[in-house]
Each structure stands twice: as C-alpha cells, then as structure tokens.
Structure 1
Amino acid sequence: MLSDQPVAGKCSKFKNCPITLSGGDDFMFIKAEYFKNTSCDEKDLEKIYRIRKDVFFDRLGWDVLCSGGLEFDAFDNADCDYLVVRHRDTLICTCRLIPTTRPTMLSEVFPGLLRGEDYLPDPAVIEISRLAATACPSLRGGVMSLILQELRRYASDHRVSAFVFVTTTAIERLLRRHGVRLQRFGDGRTTLVGGVRSVALRLHPADIPQVN
C-alpha cells in the first residue's frame, strides 16, 4: 500500500536530476535509481527496510511485522525490484515493484479493493507497493515528481503497460494534482482499510506527465 506520508543490486538506471524545490535551498540535487532485490547492496536494503519501519510502524501505526528495527514481508523476494530516491547520497524514499504474475498485495492482501473487477495477472502489469519516505517536507513535491518520471523510465525499459497499486484517497488526490490520470478498479468506490479511505488504482505510463 502506498502511504500518504511524505514519500526497496545492480543499477539498471540512474539519473542525477536538478529539481527546484520550495523551502530550504532553492536548488538541490536528488537522484533516482532502480535495481533488483537479488543484486541489491546489503546496506541499501537495510536502509529501505528501516525507512519502511519508521513510516509504517512508528509513524502510521500499521500492523506490520518488524525485526531489528526493519520492516519487510514475504513480498520482498527475488521477484521484486526497488525504486529509490537519494538526496545528497542519503536514501530518502523507496517503493517496491512486483510483476502481477507473482503474488502481490492487491491479489493476496487487498482483493476486496478490486471492487468486483477480476484480477488478471499480466507480465506487463506491475504492482507498486510500500512507497515510503523520510519526513522531509521541503523535498516532498520534488520527490514525487522524480518518482513519477522514474516510473515512466522503468515502464519504457521493461515494456510495462500499466502499474497497479493500493493507496489512500489522500495520495490519489496528490497524484491527480501532479497531473496524473488514474483509473479506479471495479465500481470505483472507496473501502475503509484500517479506518482510512482507500482505493486500488491503475496507472498507465502514458498518463504520467513528462517533465522536460
């Protein structure tokens, strides 16, 4: 599930990207990359799991399993990729990418959010989950923009036709404010998950505005 807080190898893509941000310095350099779980640097993987524990367990109080100050689950396996964002070489944001031909959170944990629509596994459809970031309000807008552009790049490199994910209606509104066109599953109604209005969404890469 994607959190509504300010936003888990061998690098297959890397970009050092100057972005104008509000608050603090007017210009900061942040960069994004994605990589396979199976070839991930152990220290990076620990940072990914630690950020997720800080966000989902400590900040949001979700019922997630943690061990040694880290949050990880059965979906953190050889099938997944991770997208990360760094600021001045500090990892500040992460999300997980899983092909829908493998078990995903939407198919195994939140099937009710399909709202009557059939779940159709497809190698060209990727689930986004566990989006989390350190609390850094001045970077929030820039990080979201960079994540979206990196998802476009990932889709191009892997011939992805669509992303699917479960998130809160707050994040849905945030994405729409970034100009992203989204489709809700099934009848389009929201579902309460842990007392929070949530939805399952479909995102086509072409519906992410490109930043030149």
Structure 2
Amino acid sequence: MRDTPKETKAILFRQADRPQLYREVAQFRKALFSDQLGWILNTENGLERDEFDTDMTEYCALLGDGELRGCFRAIRCDRPYLVRDAFPGLAPAEAFPADVTAWEISRFGIHPESSGLAISLYAAMFDFAERRGARALPALVDLRHERFLQRLGIKTRRYGEPRPVGRDVRGRVIFGVAGEIPIHEQRRRLGMLFSVPRSLLEVTDETTFGRLDRVSA
C-alpha cells in the first residue's frame, strides 16, 4: 500500500462547473471500472460515461497531492438514476426512492495504489449527504463492496436479494444488490467519518448548491 498523500482534497462539482475535471473523472472511470475491473460500460475517446451523466449530475473528485485518486457520482432520486432505471428487476418498484432527500451514489472508486484513501472518499460521501440533507444514499453494489461496508461499520438496507447484473469482459457473472445507506442509522459511525474531512480532508463544494450555501451564510 502506498503512503496516504499529505494533502487530500475532495471537490464536489457538476460538468459545467469543472469541464476539465469532469473529463479527468471520466478518464479515471474508464481506466478503473472498464480497463482494470473489466466491467462492460459505454466508453468513447478514452472516457466512460452513460445516460445518467447529465448537466444535473453531481460528482466528487478526490485529489491526493494534486492527482485524481478517487471519485463518485451522485444523482438526486427525483430524476432518472442508475439502479432504478437500468436495473429495475433488482427490487420491487416501490422499494426505489423517488424524492429529493435520496441521492444515488454510483461509480464509487479508488485508484488501486491509493487504497489508504478509501476512508477519505467515504468521509467525503457522508459529508456530501450532510450538505444535501440526504436521508438515504441508494446504490447498486457488488457483494464484495457490501461486505466491505459492513466491515467499516456502515449500516446498509437491501431493497431486494442479490441477482446477476451482467458479465465482465472475461465472461464472469457479476452479482449485484440494490439497497441504500440510511443516513439516520449511521450516527455513531458518522462521528468518526465526519472527523476525517475536518482534520485530514478539505471538502470544496463548487455546485449550485454550494454557491447558494455560501451566499445564504
């Protein structure tokens, strides 16, 4: 494991806020999810993106010593989002939230040489949830990621049972489960996770939400 970078920063943004950073995130996603993990995704010109990467989609870029080390995508659930609209068979329709207090998290990943920053990316995710007043973070995760969340002490709630969601480039079946991280059930764990942004991680919100927050403050 490489040493954790001394300067770690998370930037929350939309495509229009940081077009070059968005391009770097899309390149990072292709290198990580498509090239390394072998997921079969939409890629073009070295970028990975799909129909859920819209002008309203929000992103987190995790930078370590100025280099992109991790990312995630966030979509408010009153809009189309990945797990509900691309994988509706994973759970009953009524299980998927469709309100402004739920934000789907997808394309969550860390550079393989920066695994020590995983806790910082989770901290940035919970910081994002607090900024948006989110009650839940829905997601589609594979079973290994679900087990990792449990080892971290992060509580999750399934919408349905694990099912095949596709195959990778080697033909291996990928099993996924639809569910959420209920924010109100994380209070004990959030105390530790929120301490990471305050002490080790600078979080900058460059979205419309963030600008409104700064103006109103």
TM-score range, shorter chain: 0.7 to 0.9
Report how far residue 200 of structure 1 moved.
Answer: 0.9
Q: Does 1:210 align with 2:191?
A: yes
User: Counterparts of 1:103 and 1:204 in 2: how far apart (Å)?
Assistant: 20
Q: Counterpart of 2:14?
A: 36
Q: Counterpart of 1:191?
A: 163
Q: Does 1:95 align with 2:72?
A: yes
Equivalent residue runs for 1:3-22 within 5 Å:
none
Residue aligned with 1:91, SS: strand
Q: Counterpart of 1:56?
A: 33
Q: Which structure's residues are more often helix, by fraction?
A: 2
Pair 37,163 (structure 1): closer, same or farther in 2 beyond 3 Å? same
Equivalent residue runs for 1:65-84 within 5 Å:
65-84=42-61
CA offsets 1:168-201 (integer angstroms, 9 cap, x no match) = 0100111111110111113xx2111221221112
CA offsets 1:35-91 (integer angstroms, 9 cap, x no match) = 123212x22111101111112221222221211111111111112110111111001
User: Counterparts of 1:148 and 1:168 in 2: how far apart (Å)?
Assistant: 17
User: Counterparts of 2:177 and 2:96 in 1: how far apart (Å)?
Assistant: 15
User: Counterparts of 1:57 and 1:125 in 2: how far apart (Å)?
Assistant: 27
Report how far residue 34 of structure 1 moved.
Answer: 1.1
2:87 equivalent among 93, 110, 113: 110
Aligned residue pairs: how many?
184
1:200 equivalent among 155, 178, 187: 178
Pair 27,143 (structure 1): closer, same or farther in 2 beyond 3 Å? closer
Q: Counterpart of 1:20?
A: none
Q: Does 1:180 align with 2:125?
A: no
Pair 26,78 (structure 1): closer, same or farther in 2 beyond 3 Å? closer
Residue aligned with 2:7, SS: strand
2:96 equivalent among 101, 115, 119: 119
Instruction: State the TM-score, normalized to the length of structure 2.
Output: 0.78
Any gaps of 5 or more consecutive residues in structure 1?
Answer: 1-22
* 1:101/1:121 contact within 8 Å kept: yes
Residue aligned with 1:123, SS: coil
Q: Does 1:144 align with 2:118?
A: yes
What is the RMSD computed on CA atoms of the aligned residues?
1.9
